[in-house]
């Protein structure tokens, strides 16, 4: 059996896993991501990788390659991190070279959502398809594209930014420098601001839960309220689904994918989101494209990133 190390660096937590050639996780470790300084983060993942190997009695020679997903703009060919929007002080870092010198194992790096997409494509909700689009919902709205069975990266390797497809001519300012991007309507930060604003004006069980049960306002709470039949909460997610569906209509028309895979924290409210998303696509997308696409939930959950990173290592680490 051949083994790979898959690493998924997130803005808060990072995951390090040993994955076998069949995409199965043999050992996994979750650590807090040090964001205050670059070397601390690098040392942490190197140390965790070494620990996980000795824990499983694996030697360096058992590991064919290491794959790393980073949350930002990456040049996967040169192995350089251009920048990470949520982790400061990362500018043009030759991470591949640094990790190879420390780990002494062939290493390749890429964008985290691209690798998640690769994981879902090989072992998850994208299995068996050739053209898929993956979207992750969270603080940021990320995307990955597989066309004709291959990860699509674009001219300078930073394509797939689905969260920054505008859905309005004007609209709110977005973190990316643009405005009216779908992320500025359905990203977690925007949703929380909207909730605070709208709850002042609307009747909702959410307010009762916060006051009487001392619960904290969160998107999970809105999900719970929707489960309880709260009208405002159901409408909140419906509106979310309509916005997401509007953007995905463009994706469906442009790329004609077989499947669109939706994952990330907010996908927990899938029950209330998927209906409106499908409805909008059915209504607005061009008929042949609309008919051939399936909207599905991600399957690998939290593990998609490390599994995808290991697949990437297997494909590129020779």
Binding site for Zn ion (CB under 5 A): 164, 174, 176, 178, 181
CB under 8 Å to 57, separation ≥6 — which residues? none
Instruction: Please identify, using beta-carbon distances, which residue of 23 and 143 lies nearer to Zn ion.
Output: 143
The nearest distance, CB 165 to Zn ion, in angstroms, is 8
Rg of the chain over Cα atoms, rounded to whole angstroms, equals: 20
Strand duo 73-75 + 80-83: pairing: antiparallel
Question: Min. distance of Cβ 162 from Zn ion in angstroms?
Answer: 10
Shortest distance, CB of residue 197 to Zn ion, whole angstroms?
Answer: 21
**Nearest distance in Å: CB 57, Zn ion:** 46
Closer to Zn ion by CB, 181 or 300: give it: 181
Nearest distance from C-beta of residue 188 to Zn ion, angstroms: 14
Within a 10 A sphere around the Cβ of 115, how many other Cβ atoms?
33
Q: Which is nearer to Zn ion, 104 or 173 (CB)?
A: 173
Check: CB of residue 72 under 8 Å from CB of residue 82.
yes
- Cα–Cα distance, 165 to 70 (Å, whole number): 21
Give residue 3's region: left, alpha or beta (phi > 0; psi -120 to 50).
Answer: beta
Supply the minimum distance, in Å, between the C-beta of residue 273 and Zn ion.
20
Q: Residues 157, 163, 165, 169: what is their CA dihedral angle, to the nearest 10 degrees?
A: -140
Nearest to Zn ion of 49, 184 (CB atom): 184
Strand partners, 16: 7, 29
Cβ partners under 8 Å of residue 158, min gap 6:
73, 74, 82, 111
The residue (of 178 and 275) whose beta carbon lies closer to Zn ion is 178
Would you say 74 or 181 has its CB closer to Zn ion? 181
């Amino acid at each position: 059996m051949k083994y790979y190390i898959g690493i998924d660096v997130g803005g808060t937590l990072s995951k390090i896993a040993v994955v076998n050639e069949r995409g199965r996780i043999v050992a996994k470790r979750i650590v807090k991501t040090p964001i205050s300084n670059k070397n601390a983060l690098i040392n942490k993942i190197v140390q965790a990788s070494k620990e996980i190997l000795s824990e499983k009695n694996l030697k360096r020679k058992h590991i064919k390659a290491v794959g790393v997903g980073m949350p930002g703009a990456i040049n996967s060919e040169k192995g350089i991190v251009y920048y990470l929007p949520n982790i400061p002080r990362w500018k043009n870092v030759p991470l591949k070279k640094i990790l190879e010198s420390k780990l002494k194992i062939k290493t390749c790096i890429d964008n985290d959502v691209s690798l998640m997409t690769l994981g879902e494509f090989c072992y998850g909700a994208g299995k068996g398809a050739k053209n898929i689009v993956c979207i992750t919902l969270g603080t940021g709205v990320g995307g990955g594209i597989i066309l004709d069975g291959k990860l699509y990266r674009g001219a300078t390797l930073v394509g797939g930014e689905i969260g920054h497809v505008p859905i309005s001519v004007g609209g709110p300012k977005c973190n990316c420098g643009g405005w009216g991007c779908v992320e500025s309507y359905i990203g977690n930060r925007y949703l929380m601001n909207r909730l605070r604003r709208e709850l002042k004006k609307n009747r909702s069980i959410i307010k009762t839960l916060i006051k009487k049960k001392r619960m904290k306002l969160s998107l999970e709470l809105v999900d719970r309220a929707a489960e309880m039949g709260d009208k405002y909460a159901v409408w909140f997610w419906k509106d979310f689904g309509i916005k997401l569906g509007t953007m995905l209509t463009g994706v469906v028309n442009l790329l004609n994918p077989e499947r669109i895979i939706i994952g990330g924290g907010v996908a927990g409210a899938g029950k209330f989101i998927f209906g409106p998303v499908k409805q909008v696509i059915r209504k607005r997308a061009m008929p042949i494209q609309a008919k051939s696409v399936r909207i599905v939930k991600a399957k690998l959950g939290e593990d998609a990133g490390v599994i995808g990173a290991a697949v990437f290592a297997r494909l590129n680490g020779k």
